[in-house]
Structure 1
Amino acid sequence: MGGCVFCGIVAGDVPAFRVADTPEGVAFLDTRPVFKGHLLVVPRAHLVTLADLPAGELPGYFGLVQRLAVAVEAGLGAGGTFVAMNNKVSQSVPHLHTHVVPRTKGDGLRGFFWPRTRYADDTEAGAYAERVAAALA
């Protein structure tokens, strides 16, 4: 879909630190992560909300989200994950996406007020993406 940054990432036209690229979807680092290693998982097709995802694609898409949640814990040594999705309200990019955020006890995340951080540089971002991708196997 023209103008959709996530469609551009799926197509390979927009650079991103990819963690997974499967028929079910693409996962990449959020450029403004809540915590380092925060992923966005998107379906390959341009869909805006969860209601737009065909029922037959739910198992594959959420299977990928589940595998990535496990990989974030294993690859980053996280104590757990926060998995979330906005539909329309607070959806900064109108393309269905699921957040997979690494969590640790005492990390300061409270409710829905998400502090944001930045990667020091592309090298650090790439290292986080590689660690999660390696644990995805």
Structure 2
Amino acid sequence: MDTCLFCEITAGREHAYKVYDNEWVCCFLDKYPINKGHVLVTSKTHYREFTDLDEKSLTEVILAAQKIAEGLESVYNCDGITIMQNNGLFKDVDHYHMHVFPRYKDDGFSWVEPDNQVDRNEFVEVRRILKEGLS
């Protein structure tokens, strides 16, 4: 495995502006923030994808994200909080991480939803396939 930037940060070998740290997670300011206070929450153990995390790490990540969100709301008096993560080709660093950042009306960040039309039969089929996949 090549050197992982987030593993280096969590181990303290690479600089980052850490805001919260415990045995399981490391939370630090995003180098390229969407808004001031944008925090990355990452597991200290190297996992590539959300679906790879063990139960304890997953629990600690979401609890840390909640703590960060509460802190951001109290410090920045923002209009809301966005919590998101990307998998596969859609993440910039190949180490699982969650984004938590304050939001403001008209801040320029958006989620563009395609205009997909789904009929009842498609919903029924997708539900069937997913239920099979989950069992």
Q: TM-score range by the shorter chain?
A: 0.7 to 0.9
Partner of 1:97: 97
8 Å CA contact 2:43–2:57 kept in 1: the answer is no
Aligned residue type for 2:103: R
Residue 128 of structure 1 corresponds to which residue in structure 2?
A: none
Give unpaired runs (5+ residues) of structure 1.
113-137
TM-score (structure 1 length as normaliser):
0.76
Partners of 2:60 and 2:13 in 1: how far apart? Answer: 24
Name 2:20's counterpart in structure 1: 20
> How far did residue 2 of structure 1 move?
5.0
* 1:108 shift after superposition: 2.0
In 1, Cα distance between equivalents of 2:61 and 2:94: 17
CA distance in 1, matches of 2:22, 2:2: 22
Amino acid at match of 2:82: F
Higher relative contact order (CA 8 A, sep 6+): 1
TM alignment of 1:7-86, pairs within 5 A = 7-86=7-86
Greater CA radius of gyration, 1 or 2? 2
- Percent identity, aligned pairs only, is 35
Any stretches of 5+ residues in structure 2 without a counterpart?
Answer: 113-135
Large movers: runs of 4+ above 3 Å: none
Alignment length (residue pairs): 112
Closer/same/farther in 2, CA of residues 81 and 94 from structure 1, 3 Å limit: same
Identify the residue that residue 110 of structure 1 maps to in structure 2: 110
Residue 71 of structure 1 aligns to a residue whose secondary structure is helix
The letter for the 1-side match of 2:81 is T
What is the rounded CA distance, in whole Å, between the counterparts of 2:21 and 2:61 in structure 1?
Answer: 12
How large is the RMSD of aligned CA atoms in angstroms?
1.4
